[in-house]
Homo-oligomer: A and B are copies of this chain.
Amino acid sequence: MFEQLGLIGCGLMGGSFALALKRAGLVKRVVGYSKSPSTTEKARQMGVIDLAAPSALLAVAGADIVIVAVPVSATEATLKAIKHLVTPDMLIMDVGSTKTDVVQAARTALRDQIGSFVPAHPIAGKEVSGIEHADADLYKGRQVILTPLEKTLTAHLQKAATVWTAIGSQVIHMSPEQHDAAFAAVSHLPHLLAFAFINGIASQPAGDDYMALGGPGFRDFTRIAASDPKVWRDIMLANREELLAQSKLFQQALHNIEQAMEKGNAQALEDMLTLASETRAHWRMGAKRK
C-alpha cells in the first residue's frame, strides 16, 4: 500500500505504528528519525525502522506516509522542519492526545500543504514509554479518532482510515473541539486525578508506609500516574481549559458525596454511590456510541 513510511519520533507510539504497518505488509521500508541518535539506532537494531535519518526532514524525503509521533508541544516545530519536502501525495498524521492545538500548529506550519495532514489520536498507550516497549499489537482493537480540518484532502482522510482499520483499529471521526472536550473528561482528567492522588499521599510523612499497603484497587487506580511527565505536561497545558472545566464538575460531584458523609446522610450517599456503580458496571470499552 505504501512505499516508504517516514517515522518522526521513535518512541512507544510511533514505533508501534511502524511495527504494525510492517507486520500487516502495508509498507516496504521505514525511515526513522529521533532527537536522540541512540534512540534512532536502537529502533534500527530492533527492526522498527530500516534506515536512520539524521534529521526530520530527511526522514520525510521520498516518503508517501509520514507519522509525527512527538510530544504535542513539538508538533509545530517538527512540521515546520519537514514542510519543504511535503508533497500533495504525502499523507501526514500525528498521534497526539490533544487536537485543537495540533490543528493550529499544523495550519501555521504547513500552510498550503495543510491538505496532506490528517490529525489522529489512537486511544492506546502504556504507562511505560520508549521504543523498547513498541508493540505491533498496540493499536489492535483500539479506537482511533480522526479530526480532519476543512482543507484536509478527502483522499488522504480515506487513506488514513484504511491504514488504521488495516492494523485493527476502529476509526471514529470528530471535530478537534469535540475531541478535546471528550478526552478532557475520559482521559486527561483521570490522569490529573491520579497524579494528584499520588502526590497527596507522597506529601505525608507516613506516605511510603501507607502505599506499601495498597492492594489491587490502588494498583489499577494509580496505574496511569506512572505515565510520562513531559507528555502529560504538554497535554494538560494544551487542553487546560477543557480539563479545568471537567475538573470543576468532578469537584462538584466529590463535594456532593462528602456533604452526604459529613451530614451522615446514608441514603443520599448510597444513592450517589449506586449511580456511579451502575454506570461503571454497564460500561464496556469500545462500545458503539449512541
Which residues of chain B come closer than 8 Å to A74, judged between CB atoms? none
A interface secondary structure, majority: helix
CA distance A199 to B276 in the complex (A): 6
Task: Return the contact of A249 from the options B182, B200, B266 (Cβ within 8 A).
Answer: B200
Query: In the bound complex, do residue B261 and residue A183 qualify as a contact, i.e. CB atoms below 8 Å apart?
Result: no
Q: Which of B237, B257, B269, B274 contacts A261 (CB 8 A)?
A: B237
Asked whether A173 is an interface residue with its Cβ less than 8 Å from the other chain, the reply is no
Choose among B212, B225, B249 the residue that contacts A276 (Cβ–Cβ < 8 A).
B225
Distance in angstroms from A121 CB to nearest chain B CB is 10
A210 on interface, CB distance cutoff 8 Å: yes
Q: Contacts A233-B269, A233-B270: A256 and B199 contacting too (C-beta < 8 A)?
A: yes
Check if A253 is an interface residue, CB within 8 A of chain B. Answer: yes
Question: Are A250 and B196 within 8 A (Cβ)?
Answer: yes
Residues of A within 8 A of B (CB): 123-125, 127, 142-143, 145, 172, 181-183, 185-187, 189-204, 206-230, 232-233, 236-237, 240, 243-244, 246-247, 249-254, 256-258, 261-262, 264, 266, 269-270, 272-277, 279-281, 283, 285, 287-290
